[in-house]
Chain A
Amino acid sequence: MVTAIRRIFKAGFVGFWRNAYVSLASIFVLTIALFVIGATMFINQLLETSLSTLQSKVDINVYFVPEAPQDEIDRITTAVEALPDVAEVTYTSREDALAEYRERNQNDAISLQALEELEDNPLGANIAIQAKETSQYESVARFLEEQKSLEQANIPVIDVINYEKNKDSIDTLTNIINATKSASFIVMIILLVAAVLITFNTIRLAIYTSREEIAIMRLVGAGNMFIRGPFMLQGIMYGFVAGILSLLLFYPLLVWLGPRTEAFFELNLFTYYMANFGEIFGILVGIGVVLGLLSSTFAVARYLRT
């Protein structure tokens, strides 16, 4: 058994070298396939990052009336925070709101003067709410409307919920995000299927050149595993080498592309590549090895049937 495995390994390695052209062609095609798969991964990452950046810019604001009792404001804030769909709630007190207003209008003398005319701070406290998904703003808004309707008429708390105002842009953004996600998913699947088919065909052709050899091995009385083993090993080697090559190809490309993607998408792909190198290595080399192994196993099986 050990001898047989050793012989299969030796035959696999020797076959890899002696069929150098066939090996090179297979590795070349497999490298391109893995490069395409890697590229879709990076593009997906860019999309995801830019979408979440966009998403974080969307929020619902609740403006409280200036006279709203503080304990009611705290109660609503806590309740909103406890909602499962809510990612973050930012509370701005009346004083902070006023300070912000002054800051924003520091070059607008009329506005500041109008403010001075008033005895009291006209601004109420407010909270900014970010949901985990844009599609969840609807339910958050519904909850807030409910709170508002439960108020006693003589003690108003919530002044304005600006969801309705933001609703259109939130809906549009939700649609864009969903469409982009499913489009990139479909493109990824198509590319993946194409890469798998091309690899499979190349290795099938590589083994087709060996069909005579396989027939001879059978005539000499070699068992199926003894014939198949070296080809399977070669498939694994093609995948491994191609995985490494595609990783090497990405390096200079991402060094060049990194600063550019950072400027546009707020994600430096090169930093991402280096930070997640282990994972990317595992995925690309793993896919390569599995693809090579499966392709060669299927391709040889054809010539082992009687």
Chain B
Amino acid sequence: MIYFDNVSKLYSDGRSAALQEVTFQVAPKEFVSIVGHSGAGKTTLLKMIIAEDKPSHGSVFFESLDVHRIPRTKLPHYRRKIGTIFQDFKLLPHKTAYENVAFAMEANGRSDAEIAENVPHALSLVDLEDKAWNFPSELSGGEKQRVAIARAIVNQPDIIIADEPTGNLDPIATYEVVQILRKINDLGTTVIMTTHNKGVIDEIERRVITMDGGRIVRDDASGKYVL
């Protein structure tokens, strides 16, 4: 479903590299964790998938589509197939939890009836029905991340990309978020997540890709956190 073909990303000085000759693929319904130290290239890798960053060499494919050959006007359409979750939540501060989730559907051109039906459903999946009308500033870190997850899944994307989703969370919130991601994966959505939380990796017991210095150094089918 996702295929990296010999992807390298050089910085503007032309010498230091964020990614070096990265090749791997992700099959549908997989749950892939990407681990590594800070600066190992995890976030750059995810940015390549959502076309936020361009590779210097190589190509990234989403199914048969070369991601970096998508014309700019078609990018919003492409991004709607992907749900994204970030360490800093990236919620719209002037919208309530409900409106944040609804915004993703509005941007997608979905009807009001669909929005009225799916948004409460997504919020109940992350157990936040009672905070639907709160603004992000009124929510805890874990709650904000759950809103972000609801927003990521509400359009029923083919794949969820999560960049350090538990990075800012306490252990209990981390546990909840990981449980929700597993549930989403069990329902059939591909998940790619970066993390450096050893507990999270060991608990998921799924494929783990280990990165170091912009290269993939390990790729274990049912991995533990080894670094």
Contact = CB atoms under 8 A, between A and B. Distances in A.
A165 to B, nearest CB: 74
B84 A219 contact: yes
B53 to A, nearest CB: 10
Given A218-B76, A221-B104, A223-B76, A15 B94 contact: yes
Interface stretch (B35-43, B108-116, B177-185, B187-195): B108-116
A221 B151 CA distance: 12
A192 B27 CA distance: 61
Among A215, A218, A220, which residue has the most Cβ atoms of chain B within 10 A?
A220
Contacts of B52: 219
Interface in A216-273: 216-224, 226
Given A3-B112, A4-B109, A222 B103 contact: yes
A18 B76 contact: no
Nearest to A4: B109
A7 interface: yes
A149 interface: no
Given A3-B112, A306-B72, A220 B107 contact: yes
B77 interface: yes
B90 interface: yes
Contacts of B92: 213, 216-217
A7 B106 contact: yes
Nearest to A223: B76
A162 interface: no
A19 interface: yes
B79 A219 contact: yes
Contacts of A15: 94
Nearest to A219: B84
B14 interface: no
Contact of A220 (B73, B77, B103, B111): B103
Nearest to B105: A220
Interface of A: 3-4, 7, 14-15, 18-19, 212-213, 215-224, 226, 306
Given A217-B103, A306-B72, A18 B94 contact: yes
Interface in B155-180: 155
A226 to B, nearest CB: 6
Given A216-B90, A220-B151, A3 B111 contact: yes
Interface residues of B, number: 27
Contacts of A218: 76, 79
B84 A223 contact: no
Contacts of B109: 3-4
17 contacts: A19-B94, A212-B90, A215-B90, A216-B92, A218-B76, A219-B79, A219-B90, A220-B107, A221-B77, A221-B80, A221-B82, A222-B103, A222-B107, A223-B76, A224-B73, A224-B76, A306-B75
A1 to B, nearest CB: 9
Contacts of A219: 50, 52, 79, 84, 90
Interface in B173-222: none
A222 B76 contact: yes
Nearest to A305: B72
A185 B78 CA distance: 53
B91 interface: yes
Contacts of B90: 212, 215-216, 219
Nearest to B86: A219
A220 B73 CA distance: 15
Nearest to A217: B107
Contacts of B77: 221
Nearest to A215: B90
A67 B80 CA distance: 99
A213 B107 CA distance: 14
Contacts of A306: 72, 75
A221 B107 contact: yes
A232 B31 CA distance: 41
Interface in B44-93: 50, 52, 72-73, 75-80, 82, 84, 90-93
A221 B93 CA distance: 18
Contacts of A221: 76-80, 82, 104, 107-108, 155
